[in-house]
Amino acid sequence: MGRMRLLSNVINSASGQVEGFCIIKSVQLKLNVKGAEYLDFMLADADGEINAKLWDYQSTVHGTYSAGEIIKIRGTINVYRDQEQLKIDRIRKMNDSDEVDISTIVAEPPIDGELLYKALYDFAGTFDDPDIATLTRYLLAANKDRIAKYPAALRLHHAHKGGLVFHTHTMLEVAKKMVEVYSPIYPELSSDLVYAGVILHDIAKTTELDVGPLGLATAYSPEGQLLGHITMGVNMIELAAMELGIPNEKAMLLAHILLSHHGVPEFGSPKPPMFPEAEIVSTVDTLDAKLYEMFDVLASVQIGGFSDRQWALDNRLLYRHGHGIVKSEDEGAEL
């Protein structure tokens, strides 16, 4: 993720001390090697997230904290195992007298989630196959509020409010271009399967994640931990198909797209894509996730510089070349 906004509020640049408001994404009470208690946080704001430690924790002194709460912290940035880590020196909960702009803490999607949801629902109504259209719209309608507001992940790509619908919408736009190119070459390609697969591929994120009122995931639900969104998504398709009387083969094809959209067993898919439409969905999903992560990381890298190694991107260093950045007219630069 990009560097948190609070990290730009430097109190002492020599010591790396910082101060600001953020949200608790997760918090655990742990013991250090000497048996003393400490709190292990994952903190976030609109620009990113960071692991933080409150050492020598005493509940009577520091208070108690839960995922989803907004807090104000002061601390020092250290580097541990090539990753930035925040050592918390002072901490308190946000109170009514604090004038905090929530948009600095919770990132909003570039486009309103309700509008994106409506675009997905309306588009599903244009499918040539009425069964696939009915099944897709049924599942969209059953999960409307969560689809429009939920993030796409606990961490990493599109882990912001409305990230699920934004990720799905972006994938769909890319998939439309691929279908446009490949349909004349391969007339048997089913655009309905591609589009329905894209729209439904992460449908069970709506039950996999525990999401707070600010639209950020704070944990996996018990079902999410035990089953995962791929298995739950397949179950949702099968149950909806039975209720709607959708032919078994069509439900099976959509179920396979969900089963295979992570591509390989290491990433959670029990089956690889076994027909072209499934391959397109898997490819577009991987592309959109990786591009999001790349641009998110590079946003905090100086032009001409490299990022830290990114474990979510095969431990790669990323380079920010700067080409394509539009400068202001005052600087007189072009694309």
| Same structural domain, 81 and 225 | no
Q: Which of 239, 139, 275 is nearest to 196 (CA)?
A: 139
pLDDT at site 59: 82
Q: Judge if 154 and 37 occupy the same domain.
A: no
For residues 160 and 99, state if they share a domain.
no
The strand pair at 217-220 and 209-211 is best described as antiparallel
- Is residue 314 included in any domain, yes or no? no
What six digits make up the tokens of 246? 């959708």
pLDDT at 211: 86
Write out pLDDT tens, residues 170-224. 999 999 999 999 999 999 999 999 999 999 999 999 999 988 777 777 788 999 9
Would you say residue 43 lies in a domain? yes
Regarding whether 138 and 72 lie in a shared domain, the answer is no
Angle subtended at Cα 243 by Cα 241 and Cα 246, rounded to the nearest 5 degrees = 35
pLDDT digits (tens, 9 = 90+) for 280-313: 999 999 999 999 888 888 877 889 999 888 877 8
The verdict on 77 and 191 lying in the same domain is no
The residue among 51, 78, 104 that closes a domain is: 104
Residues 6+ apart with CB under 8 A from 108: 46, 160, 161, 162
Helix (H, G, I), strand (E, B) or coil at 97: coil
Beta carbons within 8 Å of 10's beta carbon, 6+ residues apart: 16, 17, 18
In a shared domain, residues 134 and 88: no
Would the pLDDT of 166 be above 90? Answer: yes
The DSSP string of 270-316 is SS---SHHHHHHHHHHHHHHHHHHHHHHHTTS-TT-BPPPBGGGTTB
CATH number for the domain that contains residue 97: 2.40.50.140
231 and 270 in a common domain: yes
CATH code of the domain containing 251: 1.10.3210
Clarify whether residues 172 and 241 are in a common domain. yes
Residue 276 lies in a domain: yes
Q: Report if residue 71 sits inside a domain.
A: yes
| Residue 193 belongs to domain spanning | 113-293
**pLDDT (average), residues 151-166:** 81
326 lies in some domain: no
The rounded mean pLDDT for the chain is 86
